[in-house]
Structure 1
Amino acid sequence: MKLLMLRRYMSSISSMPRVKDFVDLCIVGGGPAGLTAAIKFKQLDKENKYRVVVLEKAGDLGSHTLSGMILEPRSMLELFPNFKEECLANKKDNGVMLDPVTNDQFKLLTASASIPLPLTPGLTNKGKNYVGSLSTVVRWLGEKAEELGVELYTGVSVSDIIYNKDKTGIIGVATKDLGIDKNGKPKDSFERGLEFHSKQIVLAEGCHGSITKQIINKFNLREGRNNQSYGLGLKEVWEVKPENFNKGMVAHTMGYPLSKDLYGGGFQYHFGDNLVSVGLVVGLDYEDPSVSPYQEFQKLKHHPFYSEVLKGGKCIAYGARALNEGGLQAIPKLNFPGGVIIGASAGFMNVPKIKGTHTAMKSAMLAAESCYDEISKLPAFESLVEEKGEDNIDISEEPLLNIESYERALMKSWVYDELYQVRNIRPSFNTKAGLFGGMMYSGMDALLLKGKAPWTFSFGKSDATATKPASNFKPRSYPKPDGVLSFDILTSVSRTGTYHDDNEQCHLRIGKDQNLKEFTQETYPVYKGVEQKFCPAGVYEFVKDETSKYGVKFKINSQNCIHCKTCDIKSPTQQINWTVPEGGDGPKYTIT
């Protein structure tokens, strides 16, 4: 009865009309790719004829942006030829935290030692790349976009796709309704979402975006291409003692604390004023459900290579985010009727380089150029509104733009060449040769073959189906945090600035009916609480319950969610669907 009443409430809400807005280019996501697409389009629109709108779910630009981060400036210099003079030389004035890389290190860690490894071309950064904070770079890009006339709307979550009448393409997107309580009922503060109708929708949501996921499935954009494979990146920013700081130093590590069956590695980047970004990336294609990427990260910081830098310092920020690791083979078709996919939404990360901002930005520029070529042949919506009035405009029956030139341009660009050259390195670790076999092959490929091998390795299973029953493994145990170098998970979450309204509908949807008891009965006996272990924010718990058949019940602490999307990717039964919460919710990253 309660479920029926809830459905009636939701049905009555969904029947209320939304306010419509008509724009020429609508970009979903205000990260590096989304802002770059907006900037490039407006650079081409010299007469300022067309409306470009960017919709960003974070309360402020950059506050949902998490990265290592090392910036390869190639794309930035294409977009802004004077970038170095304008941005880097005056970073104290504009708040952009970037420093030239002055020292590269690559280490293989044992339990107590570090062994130098030869630098691969992808990990050679000194003299050409920059280390610092991507969230500050995003804010700088936002300022540049606004100067060109781009309309930036932050704190708005895009939750729905607007299809044309025969559902063969999309004509717009809609933002999430505000003011829905945890029971699905409208509160006094209820506000219906807005519809943005556009000639072209650009999806720039970042890795595993919720709208992008639906579009890829709807239009079968992965046909003939690999499943995407992912990693989980965990990161802290520390203020360290001056004597432990080496400005511009970049170090990458492999080995400890990860066992041979886990792909991944650590990093420490020195930038700003005594700031060190320390982190770990763990491939989500692991089999053992008792693995905890968060706990592996806490172990990493106790290794002398890291602890000697961090000792006496203070952890000031934490974050986590899923990363695309599938490479070229897993990039979906990039266009569909009514839109294109760019940046991390498509998966342009160069895994051996551990960099994706430069490729994401270049994909955005190519998409913007292709979109402008087609949209500039059409009258601007603003002129149509003035001529006919908003109520007399209906694009649901109009022919849709399907911009195939974008993917063709991408395949002729340096992005394709770069990703093709490294296409075999990440999947080589998935062969029977394991960690050391993968290291040997990847070194040979990077230094000798240079991507010219006459073969291409594939990813097979999805990360979810790679997970095996807990009975196949001996459970892993992890040391308790010491509160100095390692921390409990809730302490870390407190450093993200995350906020969700306690009386807000849960954005983490379980199956069709949010039946947590049924979910527990299906998953816990086999995987022994894998959701609690892979989540880096304490969102999922299996708490003791003597009345339950298995002695536990499933609990969702959605207010802890830091929007990493790991649950949507790794949950073995694929019953967890990450949807957008109300706009402005989530983490508040500032220097990450």
Structure 2
Amino acid sequence: MEREVMEFDVIIVGAGPAGLAAACRLRQLAKDAGCELSVAVLEKGAEIGAHILSGALLDTTALSELFPDWKERGAPVTTAVTKEKVCLLTSAKHAITVPSPFVPPSMHNHDSYVISAGDLCRWLGEQAEALGVDIFPGFAAQSLALDEEGHVKGVVTGDMGLDANEVPRDDFEPGIQLEAPLTLFAEGSRGHLGKQLIKRFALDHQRDAQHYAIGFKELWEVPAEQHRPGEITHASGWPLNGRASGGSFLYHGADRQVMVGLIVDLDYRNPHLSPFDEFQRMKHHPLFAKVLEGGTRLAYGARSITKGGLNSLPKQTFPGGMLIGCDAGTLDFSRIKGIHMAMKSGMLAAESAFEALRHEQAPARQQPTTTDIEQRFKASWAYEALSKTRSFGPALHRMGTLMGGGWNLFDQWTRGRILPTLHDRVPDYQRLRFARDCTPFAYPAPDGKLSFDRTSSVYLANTQHDERQPCHLKLTDPQVPVRVNLPLFDEPAQRYCPAGVYEIITTDDGPAFQINPANCIHCKTCDIKDPSRNITWTPPEGGSGPNYPNM
């Protein structure tokens, strides 16, 4: 197929915090050096911020490094944390506030801000465009462009106008091939291309298996008397105790808005678990209900979280490019913070890329080397933060909330210098036990006031897909869901998916596996948790998916 080819000096895949910070830093360096540098950013969402979802608390360290005058520039970072607490939910009705001395240092947030990550990315996009970056929203990088040696030379965007059988319709438009000496991949957690790159170049050699969680978030508008701007709460225990590891949060933002969410680690063992229903159940706890009652739910979303930390961090460079941000796994899970880490990752990659391009003496457009990104990262505060908390996740996985929390508290008090490094080398999908060996859970019906069903929730995610396009959720073997997953695991996809994409339906020929791709909110959980490794998430047509207003 004939494709249009566009050439740039650097291509960045993904307009999240990492990608936009990298783009801004590249153009800043070029401006300071008085040289030209063309930078293109591809974003699969319909607009910048459309697919961005995070809690979110922002540590402004990286933002201040990138734009020291961010306040004067009008960054949407205005609600400082004024009060914080950590609670242990001991039952459906009771909670214990953990005394501050017993809260791990990484969980203190007195210098952070309650923000909308989507709004921050929209603002970063404005800064990038002002610096001369070309941003292309609605263009999904579908595949890698490789040279004769198998090195990355860019990406190919997805074709538009294919029917369900991948036959061109009358409105067909072929994707565009974008080429550059360097391509930075900033797709976020469980990036479609990042996953391929890790495998192709063995970037995870001698690393622990990567680990993930699914994070749920709802945005509520609450009565004024229940709103306390800047107050934040983190909690663990109920409803997950004995079922999974994870935790919950409640953040009071501006304009009578609060953010409520639940994080469920995807190493859970019982295939009957429904993370979505655990989240709905959680909101009935008095800790949350007293804030949410009488309020209005404005938005809903869910997203995978890459949480393996330093032990699981892959090599970040390969011939022709780099992995940055959550595509690599730079989130500091001990702080439940990834934005500032992703931004710093992008900025370091930009500095490495700029030096490589600037000093490359080979013929034009030949790929330069970027070997110094690893050294830059290890010399940064981002690496130091991940190094101090490298055992955080494994401790919780292996010992549970109380024992693991005690381990982490002592480990952080001693700055990671006394206790040995813990590892968790078992991938999350291998943790599931057979359904026959596990107790099913009975979840209460939603009340429509604090708890809701999947259908009404997906509606609030504003997700849209042209239903004529090919299904973007690919099955390696279409028979596996019914032949293997259903008898062994009661097909967990119908419960771990937060959007009702997967169903087991009854037909004249027996049970059948039905995929509803139009519901997909691009969380990637199916790509992570399917016990048969049979589902591959791929990008649908550019612009498809959720359209979060300010998540």
Provide the TM-score with structure 2 as the length reference: 0.97
SS in 2 for 1:153: strand
Once the two structures are superposed, the pairs formed by residues 55-134 of structure 1 within 5 Å of their partners are 55-87=42-74, 96=76, 98-110=78-90, 111-117=92-98, 118=100, 119-126=103-110, 128-134=111-117
Amino acid of the structure 1 residue aligned with 2:52: T
Amino acid of the structure 2 residue aligned with 1:459: D
- Name the counterpart of 1:10: none
Q: Select which of 175, 178, 181 maps to 1:193.
A: 175
- Following the alignment from structure 2 to structure 1, what is the Cα–Cα distance between the partners of residues 10 and 3? 19
How far is 1:456 from its partner? 1.0
Pick closer, same or farther for the CA change 1:157–1:539 going to 2, 3 Å.
same
The question of whether the paired residues in 1 share the 8 Å contact of 2:391 and 2:422 is answered with yes
- Following the alignment from structure 2 to structure 1, what is the Cα–Cα distance between the partners of residues 259 and 43? 25
SS in 2 for 1:58: coil
Q: Select which of 387, 404, 420 maps to 2:371.
A: 404
* 1:23 partnered with 2:8: yes
- Following the alignment from structure 2 to structure 1, what is the Cα–Cα distance between the partners of residues 481 and 359? 52
* 1:521 partnered with 2:503: no
- Following the alignment from structure 1 to structure 2, what is the Cα–Cα distance between the partners of residues 77 and 105? 26
- Name the counterpart of 1:215: 197
Report sequence identity in percent.
40
- Following the alignment from structure 2 to structure 1, what is the Cα–Cα distance between the partners of residues 157 and 354? 25
The one-character-per-residue Cα deviations of 1:135-161 (angstroms, maximum 9, x if unpaired) are: 000000000000000000000010111
The question of whether the paired residues in 2 share the 8 Å contact of 1:335 and 1:402 is answered with no
- Following the alignment from structure 1 to structure 2, what is the Cα–Cα distance between the partners of residues 161 and 591? 31
- Following the alignment from structure 1 to structure 2, what is the Cα–Cα distance between the partners of residues 106 and 19? 54
* 1:135 partnered with 2:102: no
- Name the counterpart of 1:12: none
Amino acid of the structure 1 residue aligned with 2:81: V
Amino acid of the structure 2 residue aligned with 1:312: G
The one-character-per-residue Cα deviations of 1:305-325 (angstroms, maximum 9, x if unpaired) are: 000000000001000000011
* 1:258 partnered with 2:240: yes
Once the two structures are superposed, the pairs formed by residues 142-221 of structure 1 within 5 Å of their partners are 142-167=125-150, 169-221=151-203
Q: Select which of 334, 342, 355 maps to 2:324.
A: 342
Q: Select which of 412, 423, 433 maps to 1:468.
A: 433
Q: Select which of 561, 570, 573 maps to 2:529.
A: 570
- Name the counterpart of 1:537: 499
- Name the counterpart of 1:390: none
SS in 1 for 2:392: coil
How far is 1:183 from its partner? 1.4
Once the two structures are superposed, the pairs formed by residues 398-547 of structure 1 within 5 Å of their partners are 398=366, 400-431=367-398, 433-446=399-412, 448-511=413-476, 516-547=478-509
* 1:32 partnered with 2:14: no
How far is 1:518 from its partner? 4.4
- Name the counterpart of 2:221: 239
- Structure 1 stretches (4+) deviating beyond 6 angstroms? none
How far is 1:546 from its partner? 4.6
SS in 2 for 1:344: helix
Amino acid of the structure 2 residue aligned with 1:113: H
The question of whether the paired residues in 1 share the 8 Å contact of 2:356 and 2:369 is answered with no
Pick closer, same or farther for the CA change 1:590–1:196 going to 2, 3 Å.
same
- Name the counterpart of 1:311: 293
Name the larger-Rg structure. Answer: 1
The number of aligned residues is 545
- Following the alignment from structure 1 to structure 2, what is the Cα–Cα distance between the partners of residues 453 and 191? 59
The question of whether the paired residues in 2 share the 8 Å contact of 1:107 and 1:115 is answered with yes
Amino acid of the structure 2 residue aligned with 1:377: H
The question of whether the paired residues in 1 share the 8 Å contact of 2:114 and 2:251 is answered with yes
The one-character-per-residue Cα deviations of 1:240-263 (angstroms, maximum 9, x if unpaired) are: 000110111111000111123411
The question of whether the paired residues in 2 share the 8 Å contact of 1:101 and 1:131 is answered with yes
How far is 1:276 from its partner? 0.4
Pick closer, same or farther for the CA change 1:200–1:251 going to 2, 3 Å.
same
SS in 2 for 1:460: coil
Once the two structures are superposed, the pairs formed by residues 351-430 of structure 1 within 5 Å of their partners are 351-378=333-360, 398=366, 400-430=367-397
SS in 1 for 2:301: strand
Amino acid of the structure 1 residue aligned with 2:221: E
The question of whether the paired residues in 2 share the 8 Å contact of 1:19 and 1:194 is answered with yes
Superposed CA RMSD: 1.4
- Following the alignment from structure 1 to structure 2, what is the Cα–Cα distance between the partners of residues 516 and 418? 43
- Following the alignment from structure 1 to structure 2, what is the Cα–Cα distance between the partners of residues 98 and 562? 29
How far is 1:591 from its partner? 1.3
The one-character-per-residue Cα deviations of 1:264-321 (angstroms, maximum 9, x if unpaired) are: 0000000110000000000000111111110000011000000000000000100000
The question of whether the paired residues in 2 share the 8 Å contact of 1:428 and 1:438 is answered with yes
How far is 1:438 from its partner? 1.1
How far is 1:65 from its partner? 0.3
How far is 1:378 from its partner? 4.8
The question of whether the paired residues in 1 share the 8 Å contact of 2:480 and 2:534 is answered with no
SS in 2 for 1:439: helix
- Following the alignment from structure 2 to structure 1, what is the Cα–Cα distance between the partners of residues 59 and 509? 56
How far is 1:379 from its partner? 8.7
The question of whether the paired residues in 2 share the 8 Å contact of 1:50 and 1:380 is answered with no
- Following the alignment from structure 1 to structure 2, what is the Cα–Cα distance between the partners of residues 166 and 406? 22
Amino acid of the structure 1 residue aligned with 2:454: I
How far is 1:191 from its partner? 0.5
- Following the alignment from structure 1 to structure 2, what is the Cα–Cα distance between the partners of residues 244 and 454? 43
How far is 1:84 from its partner? 2.6
- Name the counterpart of 1:7: none
Amino acid of the structure 2 residue aligned with 1:54: V
- Name the counterpart of 1:553: 512
Q: Select which of 36, 48, 52 maps to 1:49.
A: 36
- Following the alignment from structure 1 to structure 2, what is the Cα–Cα distance between the partners of residues 373 and 358? 23
Amino acid of the structure 1 residue aligned with 2:405: M
- Following the alignment from structure 1 to structure 2, what is the Cα–Cα distance between the partners of residues 158 and 165? 20
How far is 1:42 from its partner? 0.3
The question of whether the paired residues in 2 share the 8 Å contact of 1:510 and 1:519 is answered with no
The one-character-per-residue Cα deviations of 1:160-217 (angstroms, maximum 9, x if unpaired) are: 11111121x1111110000011111111110010011101010000001000000100
Amino acid of the structure 1 residue aligned with 2:173: E
- Following the alignment from structure 2 to structure 1, what is the Cα–Cα distance between the partners of residues 419 and 231? 37
The question of whether the paired residues in 2 share the 8 Å contact of 1:349 and 1:359 is answered with yes
- Following the alignment from structure 1 to structure 2, what is the Cα–Cα distance between the partners of residues 582 and 473? 39
How far is 1:48 from its partner? 5.0
Stretches of structure 2 that go unaligned for 5 or more consecutive residues are: none
- Following the alignment from structure 1 to structure 2, what is the Cα–Cα distance between the partners of residues 183 and 590? 32
The question of whether the paired residues in 2 share the 8 Å contact of 1:298 and 1:486 is answered with yes
Stretches of structure 1 that go unaligned for 5 or more consecutive residues are: 1-15, 89-95, 385-394
SS in 2 for 1:84: coil
- Following the alignment from structure 1 to structure 2, what is the Cα–Cα distance between the partners of residues 576 and 341? 23
- Following the alignment from structure 1 to structure 2, what is the Cα–Cα distance between the partners of residues 423 and 253? 21
The one-character-per-residue Cα deviations of 1:33-59 (angstroms, maximum 9, x if unpaired) are: 000000000000013511100000001
Provide the TM-score with structure 1 as the length reference: 0.90
- Following the alignment from structure 1 to structure 2, what is the Cα–Cα distance between the partners of residues 199 and 282? 39
- Following the alignment from structure 2 to structure 1, what is the Cα–Cα distance between the partners of residues 232 and 72? 23
* 1:324 partnered with 2:324: no
Amino acid of the structure 2 residue aligned with 1:78: E
- Following the alignment from structure 1 to structure 2, what is the Cα–Cα distance between the partners of residues 569 and 37? 27
The question of whether the paired residues in 2 share the 8 Å contact of 1:203 and 1:342 is answered with yes
How far is 1:516 from its partner? 3.2
